[in-house]
Amino acid sequence: MPIRQITVYGEPVLHKRAVEVTQFDDELRHLVADMHTTMDAAHGVGLAAPQIGLGLRMFTYVYADQDDAQERGVVINPKLTLSKVSQGVPDAEDDSEGCLSVPGLDFPLKRADYAKVEGFDEFGNPISFEAHGWFARIMQHEYDHLDGLLYVDKLQPRWEKRWKKAKKSLGWGVPGNTWLPGTDADPFGH
């Protein structure tokens, strides 16, 4: 399966709501396989379709420490039910988050500790599971991509200021920036 280019902050597809998937066919299953290959090559724990330039409501994930979800999977047309998000100050270490579309950077962000995830697999079968802790963070992060949000769009003012400075110095915020996992230098140093 081919590795896809990952879009970087500023690409329009990343900043608008993705559309529902309506066809559960071989083409979709090939796309899911490509997304897993790309996510693995990028050493990611999740990858949303908008991150590879496709405005579809779907994401892949890999995470080993959960109870009732597959270690590796896809969620298509997801719905999330969340616990409350703490309004406290995010911890720079415990709440630090990164993103393949904001390569090489990370900032702290508070997330809900629980998410109920419902949707469909690549065959159109309904799926439902609960996510806690870091796995819940991954689900929320990927789901936000489907609504045209990146985690850096939700930062508290202190961290938002640092993000804006980094974005400007890197020349992001405009279309046309991408990176190819396995070919380009790994922005996360894996």
Chain centroid to CA 119: how far? 16
Number of Cβ atoms within 10 Å of the Cβ of 103 = 22
93 an active-site residue?
Answer: no
DSSP count for the chain of H helices, then E strands:
3, 9
Pairwise CA distance, residues 69 & 50, whole Å: 23
Strand spans (E) along 9-145: 46-48, 58-62, 72-82, 96-99, 102-108, 114-120, 126-132
Sheet with strand 114-120: strands edge to edge: 46-48, 58-62, 72-82, 114-120, 126-132
> Known binding site: residues?
99, 141, 145
Q: Which of 11, 97, 122, 142 is catalytic?
A: 142
Q: Which residues make Cβ contacts (< 8 Å) with residue 80, sequence separation at least 6?
A: 115, 116, 117, 118, 139, 140, 143
> Known binding site for Fe cation: residues?
99, 141, 145
Catalytic annotation, residues: 142
